Amino acid sequence: MKISTKTKLALIFLALACFMGVMTSLIVNSLITNQIISEAQERVKENLNTARYVYTSKIREIDRTIRWTSIRHVLKKGLKDRNIDPIREELFGLMTEEGLDLLTLVDINGKVLYRFHNIKFSGDSLIDDPFVKGALAKKAISGTQVLSVGQLLKEGEVLGKRAAIPSVPTPKEKERKIAEETSGMILKSAYPILDFNGEVLGALIGGVLLNRNYEIVDRIKNIVFQDAKYRGKEIGTATIFLGDLRISTNVMDKEGNRAIGTRVMREVQEQVLGKGKPWIHRAFVVDDWYITAYEPIVDIQDKIVGMLYVGMMESKYAVMKERLILLFFLFSMSAMLVALTISFLLSWKIQKR
């Protein structure tokens, strides 16, 4: 069958229009995807900075409380006389008011004189605790510490029970044969108690157990994401990890409970805990994909003991990308129809000449 010149020209114009449309669509799709994801990653990186500030602010709050308490004359006199009765009730009230889980007074040798959170147990030595050792050397120390179950039980049975978190099988995790995490992550501060001549009388130590404590993660979410939701789910979430296990989080599981005991994705664990480097990429979080930022949490001895995380639902940005691409596709199709019409008109004129 012989094809007319008019038809040939129309087909050439159509092929060119289709080729340009396809190439432009591919380029625009790549640009839109990269731009949206890039902006989301930059935003989540900024959110991680805020999360770090909230985390360190809590340490500073504890530090300020212990510092101002340690310089009180009545505490110095009580330590010197080994009689805490005049200030006991006040320090009990301080623990409640400041939300402290532990408050301990030790003498110059590191021997526990009084645990205000566990009054039945005292007389043991904490001289090997780096916080206590530093405070007795006239150094104020504050930061993160991980205590074993044995150390926690000395601080109180309640803390030991609260720290215990069963491990929950999680998709894409690095497999571990630990059925339950029994250690606890603590934000802690220690200050020396000095007499009027500057000599060390002892030390005051206070702290907060992070296991099942949601103050920091919820404060991060409220500041950064302001409880925004998408399709009934929280857009943004925050988590504190002990190792690769969630001990404090507002990520929810399918039953609507906090996903305590779930673990981080294998690739994140290897990057952040293994190499000590931040992860600013998409990641699978419990049961969905998020645009995430993770960074290591180190203790006062510069050992990586956990992770700090913030993330935003990827689906919101995926829908945004799809809408933009659909809009561009409709625009491209309209342009191709116009180009096709023009090609037929041009071919008709050429054929007529």
pLDDT, tens digit, 9 for 90 and up, residues 245-264: 999 999 998 888 999 999 99
Q: Would you place residue 122 in the very low, low, confident or very high pLDDT band (cuts 50, 70, 90)?
A: confident
Residue 185 lies in a domain: yes
What is the identity of the amino acid at 164?
A: A
Q: What are the pLDDT digits (tens) for 307-341?
A: 999 998 886 655 555 555 555 555 666 666 666 66
Which of 180, 171, 145, 186 is CA-nearest to residue 261?
180
| pTM score | 0.81
Inform me whether the pLDDT recorded for 90 exceeds 70: yes
Question: What is residue 42's predicted lDDT score, i.e. its pLDDT?
Answer: 84
- In a domain? residue 237: no
The answer to whether residue 309 is domain-embedded is no
Q: Considering the domain boundaries, does residue 234 fall inside one?
A: no
Any domain includes 35: no
Q: What's the pLDDT at 288?
A: 86
Q: 74 is in which domain, residue-wise?
A: 61-209
Put the strands of the sheet holding 184-194 in their side by side order: 112-115, 102-107, 200-209, 184-194, 141-147
Does 171 map to a domain? yes
3-state secondary structure of 313: strand
pLDDT greater than 60 at residue 44: yes
**265 DSSP assignment:** B
Find the distance separating the first CA and the last CA of the chain, reported in whole Å: 24
- For residue 104, what are the CA distances in angstroms to 88, 119, 195, 199, 273? 12, 10, 18, 20, 31
- pLDDT, tens only, 215-240: 999 999 999 988 767 666 778 899 99
Q: Can you tell me the distance from the alpha carbon of 189 to that of 250, in angstroms, rounded to the nearest whole number?
A: 26
Q: Out of 21-30, 141-150, 210-219, 284-293, pick the least confident.
A: 21-30
In a domain, 93, yes or no: yes
CA atoms within a 13 Å half-sphere pointing along the CA-CB vector of 198 = 1
When the pLDDT of each residue in the chain is averaged and rounded to a whole number, the result is 84
Please check the confidence at residue 166 and state whether its pLDDT lies above 90: yes
pLDDT at 8: 60
Contact by Cβ (8 Å): 115, 155: yes
CATH number at residue 78: 3.30.450.20
Q: What is the pLDDT of residue 342?
A: 64
- Segment 197-224 shows an average pLDDT of 95
Total number of domains in the chain: 1
Has residue 242 been placed in a domain? no
